[in-house]
Structure 1
Amino acid sequence: MLGLPDGIRACLFDMDGVVTKTAVVHAAAWKEMFDGFLREWSAKNGTPFAPFESADYEQYVDGKPRLEGTKSFLESRGISLPEGSEDDPPGASTIHGLSNRKNELVLAVLKRDGVEVYEGSRRYIEAVRAAGLRTAVVSSSANTEAVLDAGGVAALFDVRVDALVAKKLGLHGKPAPDTFLEAARMLGFAAAEATVFEDALVGVAAGRAGNFGYVVGVDRVGQADALRSHGADIVVQDLGELL
């Protein structure tokens, strides 16, 4: 049923790249923020400018909480910055400052262009709910509620576990399975009774680490093999393929 094994009672969906077409917005925002910082860093330190690439996005930031993504990429370049604080101005040379700049860029694009939902995902989630399965959205974004509301799909989810919930409960971000496990717990099911739907490598890894009943990789950018190697049981290009 619905391309899922017997015994599955809950479906846990990542948001960006699985439900909404916002992964490309995040990737572009990360690139603009990091490239601006790296140009200044190179000029200040007399080193060649090496831009932020799509491979950097996939390996270091995709699917991770914002601060962790910032730290991870900077560490890959051997750059150490102070943590700073949540109220650092966007663009300040701190982990928080750069992260705030990235969020500022994302919010500007969402306000200007709105939010588009993958139609195949909408149809699949509606079918899941019609079949009596429970649903949750599990995202590393702090803007999850606003994005779902803007896309008109907030009502499709019984539970929301996002960056705000993770911070409140002290949950580790992906690739740790904590947020998915919390979503399953809130729905009242064991991990073995739930399926994880993810497009990010760290998200698929989180699904596998949590011993969930099934892990569906959603390949939007041509990384099917990598999704499988990180733990996806099946890889589709669109959730509509499972109907």
Structure 2
Amino acid sequence: MARGSALVTLEGVSAMVVEVDGVVADTGPLHAAAWKRTFDELLRERARGRGGRFRPFDLRHDYRLMYGKSPPEAARAFAASRDGGLAAWALSPVGEGDEGNGDETVARLWDRKDRYYLDSLRTVGTAAWAPTAALLAALRAQGVATAAVSCNRGAAATVQAAGMAGLFDAVVDGWAAEGLVTAEERYAAVLAETAARLGVAPRSSAALLSSTPAVRAAHRLGFRLVVAVDRDSAGNGTPSSDRLTGWSGADAVVADPGELTTPGRPG
């Protein structure tokens, strides 16, 4: 298959790995809201304790700084964007810090954000992306193994909330990458663990991913086919050959999983 070709065929693929955030469901708003709740609480506490002005987390501007990053990277990116002592406060190494000094470590911020995300899943829920569900059902009917992956923790709860638990042979998330920080290295660990659980080598597997670090990690691991999902290109007239811009490591970029052709289905 030529890179960026309009027809993306899954012929010869023994396993399909899909990213939870952005491919299984549009979880971005829930993650953004969880980060906002986390940081607003802490920023308000700091403003009250130090006599400064409370400037809340901005969902449009601040979350853009964090998008596509691992949770530790995301917390640090936001902290670095704020003035004063906030950067030092949030840049303690993951899992380290003086428990008695009143400061927050990245690990504690991350834990709090995860609790708020899971709260939203229980109260608000999330909907499956129908084209992904249809693709997975077709692949499973043809004996292709399937797995859901995420750099974040809580992927199993997300898949369950989306009503897609029955479409996966395995769900592997950030718990398989504990101790790793960058998004790419976390995805590499998650994808390697996924291949081991499925018993299918990356060279026989396809990956359908929505974040650039995940795409790079899958390419580095030698996946047979790495397809990036770029929802923003849907309906805007972007030629398929031009979608690869900015997706280093992708063999193809699609706006919709429905663009993929399963074995035995005409293109």
TM tier, smaller: 0.7 to 0.9
Q: TM-score, normalised by structure 1?
A: 0.78
Write the mapping of 1:64-79 to structure 2, written as runs, cut at 5 A: 64=70, 66-75=71-80, 79=87
Aligned length: 237
Match of 1:106 in 2: 117
Query: What is the deviation of 1:54?
Result: 5.1
Question: Contact 1:208–1:231 (CA<8 Å) still a contact in 2?
Answer: yes
Per the alignment, do residues 28 and 161 of structure 1 end up closer, same or farther by CA in structure 2, a change over 3 Å counting?
same
Residue by residue over 1:128-182, the C-alpha shift from the partner in whole angstroms, topping out at 9 and shown as x without a partner, is 1112111111112321222222222112111221122333xx6776312221122
The 5 A counterparts of 1:74-153 are 74-75=79-80, 79-81=87-89, 82-83=92-93, 93-153=104-164
Q: Which residue pairs with 1:236 in the alignment?
A: 254
Moved more, 41-50 or 118-127: 41-50
Aligned to 2:177: 166
One-letter code aligned to 1:202: P
**1:16 alignment partner, one of 14, 21, 37:** 21
Shift of 1:119: 0.8
Partner amino acid for 1:62? Answer: G
Of stretches 35-44 and 120-129 in structure 1, the one that deviates more from structure 2 is 35-44
- Give the counterpart letter for 1:21 in structure 2: D
Cα distance, 1:226–1:201 mapped onto 2, change above 3 Å: farther
Amino acid across the alignment from 2:200: F
Is residue 3–residue 242 contact of structure 1 (8 Å, CA) maintained in 2?
A: yes
Is contact 1:137-1:157 (8 Å) kept?
A: yes
- Give the residue type in structure 1 aligned to 2:87: I
Change (3 A) 1:214 1:73: farther
Aligned partners of 2:228 and 2:254 also within 8 Å: yes
More displaced 10-residue stretch of structure 1: 10-19 or 45-54? 45-54
Larger radius of gyration: 2
Aligned equivalents of 2:107 and 2:76: distance in 1?
10
Q: Which amino acid aligns with 2:158?
A: V
Measure, in 1, the Cα distance between the counterparts of 2:103 and 2:177. Answer: 25
Q: How far apart, in 1, do the equivalents of 2:192 and 2:125 lie? A: 30
Identity of aligned residues (%): 33
Matches within 5 A, 1:22-37: 22-34=27-39, 37=42
Tell me the C-alpha RMSD between the 2 structures.
3.5
How far residue 211 of structure 1 moved from its aligned partner, in angstroms, is 2.1
Report how far residue 12 of structure 1 moved.
0.7
TM-score normalised by structure 2 residue count: 0.72
What SS does structure 2 have at the residue aligned with 1:62? coil
**Residues 154 and 63 (structure 1 numbering): CA distance in 2 closer, same or farther, change over 3 Å?**
farther
* 183, 197, 206: which one aligns with 1:186: 197
Most deviating of 227-236 and 120-129:
227-236
- Give unpaired runs (5+ residues) of structure 2: 1-6, 235-241, 262-267
Q: Provide the residue aligned with 1:204 in structure 2.
A: 215
Structure 1 gaps, min length 5: none
